[in-house]
Amino acid sequence: MLSFGLDGKDWVLDPLVILLIAMVLDAAVGEVGGPFRRVPHPVRVIGNLIGFFDARLNRETRSQADRKARGVLVVVFVCGLSAIVGWGVSWITRNHDFGWIVELTLTFALLAQRSLYNHVRAVARALNGGGIEAGREAVSHIVGRDVRQLDGHGVARAAIESCAENFSDGVVAPVFWYLLFGFPGLLVYKAVNTMDSMIGYTTPRYRAFGMAAARLDDALNFIPARLAGLFLVSAAISVPTANPGGALRVMTRDAGKHGSPNAGWPEGAMAGALGLALAGPRRYAETAVEGSWIGDGRARATETDIDRALRLYVVACAVNGLMVAALALIRLGLT
């Protein structure tokens, strides 16, 4: 439904149109500033709530079984609250004049197309202009690994891997869940993804407490990760410096080599498209991962490869947007 009534009683936007406008705004403008200078950003609110439960329920004196059970309760509560809030926002959109502005603003705030692009591009600029230390500082904002031991090639690989994986988590998955369940689906997904990023680790502190969050995040990203890989393969057709055949081959062959059940799909597509080897052994603050290499290209990535990855990423975002636009046109044509 797409209606702009002059009587003040029929200003309603179809949810797919809201999503498409939000995607265009996010791609053009990036992170929302104005509305959230005084009002906390939704992800920050969710993060504060998770932090509150972490501090009070995840105490080292409790048994692993107790902490696991409490972690399940946290996931149920946060997801349930997010679903209720999301439903309330959708209700406002359907029942109040200009209520769609609230949903549009929040949807815009919960997408990360331009933000991811800016953060990854900052790594290339830092490497090019400030050297290895500047590159490590820039990449530390988008990866969880220990950047102190990364050389320039490691910094570039980390940025490219983050670009691929977060294309799935921060762009494709939010859109996917909005398409299925509207704004409630988007908000619940962002809540789960935030929980995973905060407590979904295998460290001694979070192995039990964050298990439910990590497993649910894996489940919610199962289809979006594979779609993200396919979007990157499709994007490689239009990018002169990319190889679509290599993207498809490496993705289907090497996706299962990644420690995550999902991250290997977009990373495999990215590695094959650019002729690189990604993932491999890497070190985090409290542990080291002896991961397999994804792709059979060169591991010595550079800032030029980051730029190539960003070009592929931009086209893949466009593919994602065109899918939403096509669905919106189909639905509007049927109403």
* 216-269 per-position pLDDT tens digit: 999 999 999 999 999 999 999 999 999 999 999 999 999 999 989 999 999 999
Between CA 233 and CA 245 the distance in angstroms is 8
φ/ψ bin of 248: left (φ > 0), alpha (ψ from -120 to 50), beta (otherwise)? alpha
Residue 9: per-residue pLDDT: 43
Locus of tokens 């030029």: 304
- C-beta atoms surrounding 53 within 10 Å: 19
Task: Give the confidence band of 37 by pLDDT, cuts at 50, 70, 90.
Answer: low
Between CA 310 and CA 301 the distance in angstroms is 14
Between CA 15 and CA 1 the distance in angstroms is 8
What do you get for the CA distance between the two ends of the chain, in Å? 7
Query: Is 50 exceeded by the pLDDT of residue 103?
Result: yes
Residue 282: per-residue pLDDT: 77
